[in-house]
Amino acid sequence: MDRRTLLRLLGASALSACAPSDRLDGSVDTGIDSGVPGVTVNFGTGQIDYLDVPRTGATLELIYGVQGGYHVWGRAQFHGFAPDVDVSFNVVDQDSGRTLHIPNPARRRIENGVRYGLTDAGNGTYQTDAELVIVSIVCASDVVGHTLVVDVFVRERASNRTAADRRVVRIIDEVNPQSCVPG
């Protein structure tokens, strides 16, 4: 099976249960109430440093990776959890309703003073290193200009409590918006 067929099957078979919740007025809910008192989670981006993604009017740059696929950079900033967490992302194309990235948890922690994908930002706030949030598309033009709903989930390993955040972003590709993955 070639790469394009595999990517199409992955996109077509993705569960819609993770799709964003639509409001009665037709807008999309841009925030998730985590229901965990004293815990905050924020979605961010940035390959080198954590960059906050605004709640409205945000854009994310689509990246064509060296291994031949597309991704955006995802990061989480959280407060109120111990620094031993699982972090995952979910991405849904709001225009088509198609799930482009299904959550795949990655453990991030600080153990015995050693950082494993996590930075202490001070005052009980931690930031994850950049994650490749791979999107199941064939060509950049499949999503450039589209609105995507991106959820980040942070689960504290010790308590199993989970908190989340959501951003609605427009995808841009300033390098090559018409490029396609070679077949």
Task: Write out pLDDT tens, residues 98-148.
Answer: 999 999 999 999 999 999 999 999 999 999 999 999 999 989 999 999 999
Q: How far is CA 84 from CA 103, 114, 116, in A?
A: 18, 12, 9
Fold of the domain spanning 3-172: Immunoglobulin-like (2.60.40)
Lowest mean pLDDT among 8-22, 39-53, 74-88, 97-111: 8-22
Q: Quote the pTM value.
A: 0.80
For residue 107, how many C-alpha atoms fall within 13 Å in the half-sphere facing its CB?
8
The secondary structure element, H or E, covering residue 7 is helix 3-13
